[in-house]
């Protein structure tokens, strides 16, 4: 049903893998949710959980005062917000940007929203879609403290919100640092598993030997199962999505003169995995570029 100008709790722009997870978590917390997605079918598919899908982005934004954006990249979200600003649809709204990007993009985005008469927070989701809504899912947010205080009670439906500071780029900067750490660690795990496999030693207890916190242990176990089966399909985050986020980290490192050989090594692992056709796999698809005897 398409009904504009209703006072729903939140509008979500983007119903991809992560956007859908955010929407489900808001609904699970009892929040009323308006949804817009470029491919309307994905928004409509969420009607069984009680969301209101909109074909028109302006009507979706008109349905609530809190707008959460989660699309592929900042170029996309900036285009969407620019069109809304031109139509006068974003003034007076509070926009929470949960798309991955660089700190510089966050700063630019916050300024564009300020010029359009909107308040904003820039954020980063430190989890996979299946973890959204759990306490283990951290949502890093930066911007005006008063805005954070006002919207945190609603955003708490997504996980554990953490205020990172007033600079709009602060959440994105922390996201890049944590993401590079976890991606580099993932490739280190794939290399370690390949090393054990190539020597003919047990490799499938490695995840338990490494252990780690809840999210790390869960990832390791799912990668172990994917490596064992050779099947890397899933519904969390594609290697392409990881690589896009990684490119933002590299851009921030290059801009700040802090790229070192380790980052370049991880970059070439991503390039190789994508070149060999694993972009649509989950991250563990990169292991196939290292599998002893038949790396592809
Ligand atoms: P995804 O499943 O590929 O979804 C991408 C979303 O962006 C879809 O809603 C897509 O719409 C939309 N989109 C792409 N190009 C567009 C355009 N030109 N105009 C309008 N909409 C467009 O990716 P995802 O995994 O949900 O990731 C979304 C964001 O969340 C990314 O910034 C990612 O880094 C971040 N994130 C993801 C994870 C994760 O584990 N998946 C974790 C943390 C953060 P269509 O459906 O119409 O294509």
What does the pLDDT look like over 46-95, one tens digit per residue?
999 999 999 999 999 999 999 999 999 999 999 999 999 999 999 999 99
What does the pLDDT average to over 35-40? 98
Cβ proximity of 95 and 118 under 8 Å: yes
What is the rounded distance in angstroms from the CA atom of residue 151 to the CA atom of residue 156?
Answer: 9
Whether residue 295 is predicted with pLDDT greater than 80 in this model: the reply is no
Question: 148: how many CB neighbours lie within 10 A of its CB?
Answer: 21
Task: Choose the residue to mutate in 12, 14, 20, 137 for probing ligand 1, maximizing ligand atoms within 8 Å of C-beta.
Answer: 14
Q: What DSSP designation does 260 have?
A: -
Atom of ligand 1 nearest to the CA of 125: 43
Cα–Cα nearest to 7, from 86, 93, 97, 123: 93
Q: Residue 75 has which token pair?
A: 């170029």
What does the pLDDT look like over 138-175, one tens digit per residue?
999 999 999 999 999 999 999 999 999 999 999 999 99
Residue nearest to atom 41 of ligand 1 (CA): 237
């Amino acid at each position: 049903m398409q009904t504009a100008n209703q006072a729903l709790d939140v509008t979500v722009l983007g119903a991809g893998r992560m956007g859908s997870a955010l929407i489900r978590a808001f609904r699970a917390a009892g929040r009323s949710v308006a949804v817009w997605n470029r491919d309307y079918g994905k928004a409509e598919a969420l009607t069984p959980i009680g969301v209101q899908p909109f074909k028109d982005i302006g009507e979706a934004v008109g349905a609530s005062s809190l707008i959460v954006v989660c699309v592929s990249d900042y170029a996309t979200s900036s285009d969407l917000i620019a069109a809304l600003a031109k139509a006068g649809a974003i003034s007076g709204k509070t926009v929470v940007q949960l798309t991955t990007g660089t700190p510089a993009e966050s700063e630019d985005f916050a300024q564009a929203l300020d010029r359009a008469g909107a308040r904003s927070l820039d954020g980063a989701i430190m989890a996979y879609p299946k973890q959204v809504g759990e306490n283990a899912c951290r949502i890093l947010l930066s911007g005006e403290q008063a805005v954070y205080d006002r919207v945190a009670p609603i955003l708490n439906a997504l996980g554990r919100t953490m205020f990172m500071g007033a600079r709009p780029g602060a959440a994105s900067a922390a996201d890049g640092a944590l993401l590079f750490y976890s991606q580099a660690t993932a490739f280190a795990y794939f290399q370690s598993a390949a090393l054990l496999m190539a020597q003919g030693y047990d490799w499938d207890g490695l995840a338990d030997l490494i252990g780690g916190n809840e999210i790390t242990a869960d990832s390791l176990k799912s990668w172990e199962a994917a490596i064992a089966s050779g099947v890397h399909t899933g519904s969390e985050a594609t290697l392409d999505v990881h690589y896009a986020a990684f490119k933002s980290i590299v851009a921030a490192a290059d801009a700040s003169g802090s790229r070192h050989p380790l980052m370049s090594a991880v970059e070439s692992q991503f390039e190789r995995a994508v070149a060999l056709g694993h972009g649509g796999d989950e991250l563990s698809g990169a292991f196939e570029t290292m599998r002893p005897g038949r790396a592809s």
